[in-house]
Amino acid sequence: MTDTIQEVQETSFATMPISDKVQRAVADQGWEVPTPIQALAMPGLLDGDDVVGLAQTGSGKTAAFAIPLIESLDGKPRGVQALVLVPTRELASQAATEISSLSKYNPVRPVVLCGGVGIGPQIKALKSRSTSVVVGTPGRILDHLQRGTLRLNGVRYLVLDEADRMLDMGFAPDVGRILSHTPDERQTALFSATMPGEIRGMVKRHMRSPRYLTVKSEAPTVDTVEQVYYRMDGRDKTRALRALIDAEKDPVAIVFRRTKHGATKLHRQLEREGYKAALLHGGKSQSQRTKTLEGFSRGRTSILVATNVASRGLDIPNVSHVVNYDLPEDTETYVHRIGRTARAGKEGVAVTLVGEAEVRDFEKIRRSLPVEVRQSKLPLSA
């Protein structure tokens, strides 16, 4: 196992061995240069190597594995050739969308296999011999394997995305079982925001002499997100939130709550007061979640009240504010939440409402961050 930390070198998409069709699709996205993780991971992946990438959402890691995935397909209708495992439905649909848009001139049409939706249409899609790419969450994929509706013995390219999150969610045994259905002779890419010992174990068990790649600074959050916090009585938080929203011109905000119940209550309150708010939590069906996110992305609603289900991976441009109504559990969750704003080079503000009872916990998070989180005064009139 080579354990190298590499510096980012000057690269361009044009100098990589990428087909014209994919080059055109990349150009259509408006991407001019590869992101650091793309510059590091793609050459190895395009060359058929196993790669472990230390990369967070927002780093461009999806395309880093999606482009080599598209290039790895041989175009023959001979069953599933590539499998992408992700921890959540949202990430699955984002990865599938990215694969579709990057393969628009040689359409790949990935099949998404996630829980929370009917299994019938998935089974039907899998029957088609032209299904070459599957993207999904471990539970539902295992379900298909056990039903015999999915075969992975032709997989040559495998991606484990947000591997640390999959472990956190208890998917490690499922991932192991799924991988045992794939041939040993395959290429594997693993992406993770952190590299705990369990991930290294996973790499040892499932990968062949991978290249370890990390980029020096990939946190999109640090430079472009203005981070502030307000101390207050916990009971004043709703009032503070309203004051913050009202003080901005056309804000687009994601407001994080810790529990479904808390999110539901706040959403109801905001709606009652005439705000265009939407609600996202893990108890909603997949179609409801997709609809909610679509409405928010398109500007039909301007405030999304959400639990941590929205903290990772969601890529919605134009989010001007992330509000931690409830404190995040830890620094990692904080960083993921605030990474939902300041996407694609835009600016954003991350606001944390710190109740008196939360001061000590917030101090811990604040001290562990590489940047200053400024204390500020609320624009409170009420």
Nearest approach, Cβ of 237 to ligand AMP (angstroms)?
Answer: 30
| Dihedral (CA of 293, 294, 295, 297) sign | positive
d(CA 216, CA 212): 13
Closest C-alpha among 368, 379, 292 to residue 331: 368
Nearer residue to ligand AMP within complex by CB, 27 or 247: 27
Nearest approach, Cβ of 315 to ligand AMP (angstroms)?
Answer: 4
Residues 337-356 that bind ligand AMP (CB under 6 A): 344
Nearer residue to ligand AMP within complex by CB, 196 or 317: 317
Q: Which residue is nearest to ligand AMP (CB)?
A: 62
Nearest approach, Cβ of 120 to ligand AMP (angstroms)?
Answer: 30
Nearest approach, Cβ of 58 to ligand AMP (angstroms)?
Answer: 5
Q: Which two tokens stand for residue 116?
A: 């929370």
Nearest approach, Cβ of 318 to ligand AMP (angstroms)?
Answer: 12
**258 makes contact with ligand AMP (CB under 6 A):** no
| Dihedral (CA of 322, 326, 331, 333) sign | negative
Question: Could you give the string, one character per residue 297-326, with x where binding to ligand AMP holds by CB under 6 A and - elsewhere?
Answer: ------------------x-----------
Nearer residue to ligand AMP within complex by CB, 53 or 79: 53
Backbone angles phi and psi of 214, in degrees to 5 = -145, 150
Nearest approach, Cβ of 56 to ligand AMP (angstroms)?
Answer: 7
Q: In angstroms, how far is CA 261 from the centroid of its own chain?
A: 24
| Dihedral (CA of 56, 67, 40, 10) sign | negative
Residues 18-47 that bind ligand AMP (CB under 6 A): 31, 34-35, 38
Nearer residue to ligand AMP within complex by CB, 46 or 228: 46
Number of residues that bind ligand AMP (CB under 6 A): 13
Residues 47-86 that bind ligand AMP (CB under 6 A): 57-63
Q: Which residues contact 65 (CB under 8 A, 6 or more apart)?
A: 41, 45, 84, 159, 161, 189, 191
| Other C-beta atoms lying within 10 Å of the C-beta of residue 236 | 16
Nearer residue to ligand AMP within complex by CB, 142 or 215: 215
Residue 181 DSSP label: T
Q: How far is CA 147 from CA 106, 110, 156, 179, in A?
A: 31, 20, 22, 16
Nearest approach, Cβ of 170 to ligand AMP (angstroms)?
Answer: 23
Residues near ligand AMP (CB under 6 A) are 31, 34-35, 38, 57-63, 315, 344
